[in-house]
Structure 1
């Protein structure tokens, strides 16, 4: 932590509150008695960590002091060791002001570390074995990320198959479309009111929040409204902020034209359809049926060739038996 303050003095440094909670809980079990009050004390501490505005933070700290008043040593430890020094590093109200892109836990590093140790198995091997093992785990991670890219490019959920997401589907990670969908559900009661919206997803993930989505109306959400990292669906080393890099599709376009000239008519239609999806994201190739299709009610059954008439209605053999029984007729055989 001291090195981070020296090397990256202007950057925000977040702490994973899970480890802080473990330290506070260990101190609580040492000082706070009786045992039945531990849950109440830790619940009051959790309310401080999860508060969403500064006003509620002050009130919850006061409530924590009241709950822990019989144990001033524990209260002093929590206030001086954590809240006074590091509250901006792990309390939610301050973490929500930092663009952390959802990276608020150490699970990702710990999971990777565990996977590496599982593959290495032991330290009593040579350098070649360790090199090959580390290469395997990197390749597994590479393939998993590439698979997620392919899903974002080719798999479209019916929820996002609407005009609002036309400019995002196939260009943005599916993981982030879920965030935008949740914010879209808040538009009805948030509207354009920024104070009611809070704009948390804008400040933490750099994605459009509810009040921004309300400003779009019924139009499509643009790529410019989100962080460039969410549009990274390939391993090309091109930064979204680097304007000096010139991109060209000339080579790919020549290959497409050669393929277009070599395939048959069906293949040309498929290539043209795919290019139309990219060129006209707001349009669709679907068209309404020429005749109105009846979608309700069961289809009428065709009368069987064995149908017979009883009275004024067409009846099947089973109905003939029912009709005969009503007339107190017991037929010996019905053909």
Structure 2
């Protein structure tokens, strides 16, 4: 963690969110080295562990029902809904005390604020709620290495090839965002965004626009989750732009979605010799 901190150009900066598995030692170190960062836990691995415990304790006929109730707890959008969903799960699992104790003691009581929607929807995680992307990168590298007994040269070549492949895929996706326009993005409403933000971000905005029909411009109904956790305009914002006939401004989109190049941008006033 200290080495990671050294990589930041501005030493007073820190990651807003660090996503990990439930490694208690690592989580403790994050609190010390990055005290201002929010440490979220990987939903995928939590759900996998809870599913395995469900199979261990619960009879077959109820496993699917309890799995569904658990997912509703995880995705609860606010604390009231969380309490209701948890109560339903407890009632259904009343005969399986070992399972419900595991769920509450291992996950919900100490860590609900690290993976349950009611809490993490307030955190700017930009859609990163699992470590799957990193896991996939590790799996791909292991495939390229072939085995664990290769020499340093072979390891370096495999890692170099893996990184070049990833960079190539990222650059290709950037090019698509620059030059390929999907039919749903042709509207003047997206005029400032086309070619300036990623297509993934545009797709999320298009999906969010569908909520405007019943959200309107009401912030309370909206919940503003897309804005607070993804850094993208939420339904009530989009409703106000649509009502005023205003194209979506580029500055309401977080800079993460606007970076469509791998090049390092020099800061204004930097001593670059010019």
**TM bin (shorter chain):** 0.7 to 0.9
Structure 2 residue ranges without an equivalent (≥5): 1-26
Partner residue in 2 for 1:192: 217
- CA–CA distance in structure 2, aligned partners of residues 220 and 43 of structure 1: 39
Task: Say which SS state the counterpart of residue 106 (structure 2) adopts.
Answer: helix
Deviations 1:167-190 (A, max 9, x none): 111111111111111122222332
Instruction: Compute the displacement of 1:245 (Å).
Output: 5.3
Query: Which of 36, 50, 55 is equivalent to 1:24?
Result: 50
Partner residue in 2 for 1:151: 176
Number of equivalent positions: 245
Instruction: Compute the displacement of 1:37 (Å).
Output: 2.7
**Within 5 Å, which residues of 2 pair with 1:255-294?**
none
- CA–CA distance in structure 1, aligned partners of residues 252 and 156 of structure 2: 42
Whether 1:103 and 2:128 are equivalent positions in the alignment is: yes
**Within 5 Å, which residues of 2 pair with 1:111-190?**
111-190=136-215
- CA–CA distance in structure 2, aligned partners of residues 82 and 52 of structure 1: 18
- CA–CA distance in structure 1, aligned partners of residues 264 and 247 of structure 2: 28
TM-score under structure 2 length normalisation = 0.82
- CA–CA distance in structure 1, aligned partners of residues 269 and 195 of structure 2: 25
- CA–CA distance in structure 1, aligned partners of residues 237 and 269 of structure 2: 30
- CA–CA distance in structure 2, aligned partners of residues 138 and 59 of structure 1: 46
In the TM superposition, structure 1's runs of 4+ consecutive aligned residues that sit over 4 Å from their partners are 242-247
Contact 1:163–1:219 (CA<8 Å) still a contact in 2? Answer: no
- CA–CA distance in structure 1, aligned partners of residues 184 and 64 of structure 2: 41
- CA–CA distance in structure 2, aligned partners of residues 219 and 227 of structure 1: 19
**Within 5 Å, which residues of 2 pair with 1:1-335?**
1-32=27-58, 34-216=59-241, 217-238=244-265
Instruction: Compute the displacement of 1:120 (Å).
Output: 0.9
Distance 1:60 1:120, change over 3 A: same
Instruction: Compute the displacement of 1:243 (Å).
Output: 6.0
Structure 1 residue ranges without an equivalent (≥5): 252-335
Distance 1:215 1:243, change over 3 A: farther
Rg comparison, structure with higher value: 1
Deviations 1:243-293 (A, max 9, x none): 65599xxx9xxxxxxxxxxxxxxxxxxxxxxxxxxxxxxxxxxxxxxxxxx
TM-score under structure 1 length normalisation = 0.68
Please report the RMSD computed on the Cα atoms of aligned residues, expressed in angstroms.
2.2
Instruction: Compute the displacement of 1:157 (Å).
Output: 1.9
Contact 1:192–1:214 (CA<8 Å) still a contact in 2? Answer: yes
- CA–CA distance in structure 2, aligned partners of residues 4 and 210 of structure 1: 34
Partner residue in 1 for 2:16: none
Task: Say which SS state the counterpart of residue 88 (structure 2) adopts.
Answer: helix
